[in-house]
Amino acid sequence: MSGLAPHVLKKIKFAAELFKQAKHPLALTGAGISTPSGIPDFRSEGSGLWSKNEAMEVASLLTFRYNPLEFYKWFHLLAKQIIEAQPNAAHIALDSLEKLGCLDKVITQNIDILHQKAGTKSVIEMHGTLRTLSCTQCFSQFDSADFLKAFIENEIIPHCPDCGAILKPDVILFGEQLPQKAWLNAQKAARKCDLMIVIGSSLEVLPVAGLPIQTLDRGGHLIIINQTPTYLNVRADIVFTQDAAEVLPLLAEEISNNGR
């Protein structure tokens, strides 16, 4: 199957069995699924934007309201990384599982749109999306593509074509509440779910980190793929510490070859 150790391959087979038995499998993804695509895991020490800047201050709603130019100065590198990034093998594997009818939804903490680029249809974006921008004055919403291209290439700050006010990316900044509809849909999915696979999330950011508990408390199973420990490792059926871009394609292949 691959160069992975025999005990890891055994866990992949076990995980495939859990998927075969599940009626409502669900994926919860975090920053770690996108690092192979060149987007930094912001909370890893020495790498990523959180450690290079005071991002909890700069990437905040307060800073955007009172000093949007400072926000956009920080945001430039991240926007460039996201726009240029392509789905990796882990994103593609999740799309394959959805197409096989083996995955109901993907709940993601990421704003990078990589699940959608991979083809996945049912995605709940907990921290917003970079696909659109909204006016801070008249609240008109616009597709972000042309604005971000001008911003990345020429550092032109996006402004509203209707009223001229500055546009804000439709992502959740520090100090903002989660989008209510997404949160309600995520809770509903987690409660219905009988198998949740957590991929690339350290499960440190509430309230999303509590979603697996809702599945576990209703008798569901839990698989974790993350290179660092989470608080739920002790309750998971299976824990993989390998790269998701290596494990997930093998899991999808095992499920596809043996049927659900």
State how far the Cα of 163 lies from the Cα of 199, in Å rounded to an integer: 41
State how far the Cα of 26 lies from the Cα of 186, in Å rounded to an integer: 10
Are the beta carbons of 26 and 189 closer than 8 angstroms? yes
Are the beta carbons of 105 and 29 closer than 8 angstroms? no
Are the beta carbons of 32 and 226 closer than 8 angstroms? yes
Are the beta carbons of 117 and 87 closer than 8 angstroms? yes
Strand order from edge to edge, sheet including 128-135: 141-143, 128-135, 167-171
Catalytic residue among 7, 91, 115, 127: 127
Are the beta carbons of 225 and 197 closer than 8 angstroms? yes
91 is an active site residue = no
State how far the Cα of 125 lies from the Cα of 53, in Å rounded to an integer: 25
Q: Classify residue 216 as left (phi > 0), alpha (psi -120 to 50) or beta.
A: alpha
Return the ∠ at Cα 80 (arms to 204 and 198), rounded to 5°: 25
Where are the extended beta strands (E) located within 194-253? 195-199, 221-225, 238-240
Neighbours of 131 (CB within 10 A): 16
Which residues are marked as active site? Answer: 127
